[in-house]
Amino acid sequence: MNDSSKLRMDSNTLEKNSPAISGDIIRTENLGKRVPTADGWLDILSSVDVSIKPGETLAVVGASGSGKSTLLGLLAGLDRSTEGKVWLADTCLTALDEDGRARLRALHVGFVFQSFQLLPHLTALENTMLPLELVGSAEARGRALDMLARVGLEHRVKHYPKQLSGGEQQRVALARAFVTEPRILFADEPTGNLDSKTGQTVIDLLFALNRERNTTLVLVTHDEALAARCGRTVRLEAGRVVDG
């Protein structure tokens, strides 16, 4: 069985019988990330223990270079730790290979990035359909159209990213993130490339969608006012948790 077949089978199984999460939906144990430099090894994260309940909204804050985005990458299985463990949806991420982590993300996770990460050669509709098509959903087009309408872009479905404003691109990214009905949404500085008014609109929409779908939200931000909208905050300093 090839990887696409495995992914399609896993997705179909999830849609038919999605099991409840027992306890924390995300948990880390002594998590660390170390990288080599010209001056020796550099600890980006050290001894991070974090637990997140299903449906919780969590902000990760800290100064630039404190390890916020690195932590998000490890929690989502986009990167691998050099020590410790991560559990996501009752599965130990650190025990999986790259393909296994990708399958787990496809089943449970949505992403919103600062730089939107839309594919330039795909329309707004095609970008939104993509995660559903990757898991073989027969309802990709209809669900994508519904989500684009929910974010107010039903009139822009045939437009390419270069034809959309920054706020519109980020709303497409929100539609793409929520179209799979993920259990967990990771958002990394989602308003970093937007002006304050547009950013506020996008954030209001993100939290509204999150409430509607009872998604677990992990939000990386340097904006204390934005962090205050989350139910809990974890603060990092020099790669260590100092609060939360």
Burial environment of residue 130 by CB neighbours within 10 A (0 to 12, 13 to 18, 19 or more):
middle
Number of separate domains in the chain: 1
Please state, in angstroms and rounded to a whole number, the distance separating the CA atoms of residues 155 and 43: 48
pLDDT tens-digit readout, 88-123: 999 999 899 999 999 999 889 999 998 999 999 999
Average pLDDT over residues 121-140: 94
Strands 26-37 vs 51-52: parallel, antiparallel or unpaired: antiparallel
CA distance linking residue 185 with residue 116, whole number of Å = 14
* Neighbour count for residue 20 (Cβ, 10 Å): 6
What is the percent of the chain with per-residue pLDDT over 70, rounded to a whole number? Answer: 91
Structure confidence at residue 93 (pLDDT)? 93
pLDDT value for 135: 85
Is residue 20 predicted with pLDDT exceeding 90?
Answer: no
| Residue-wise pLDDT tens digits, 43-56 | 999 999 999 999 99
pLDDT at 2 over 90: no
Identify the band that residue 17 occupies on the pLDDT scale cut at 50, 70 and 90: very low
Q: Mean pLDDT for the chain?
A: 90
Structural domain including 185 reads 3-243
* Residue 228 pLDDT: 95
Structure confidence at residue 22 (pLDDT): 60
Q: What is the CATH number of the domain that holds 213?
A: 3.40.50.300
Residues 6+ apart with CB under 8 A from 224: 61
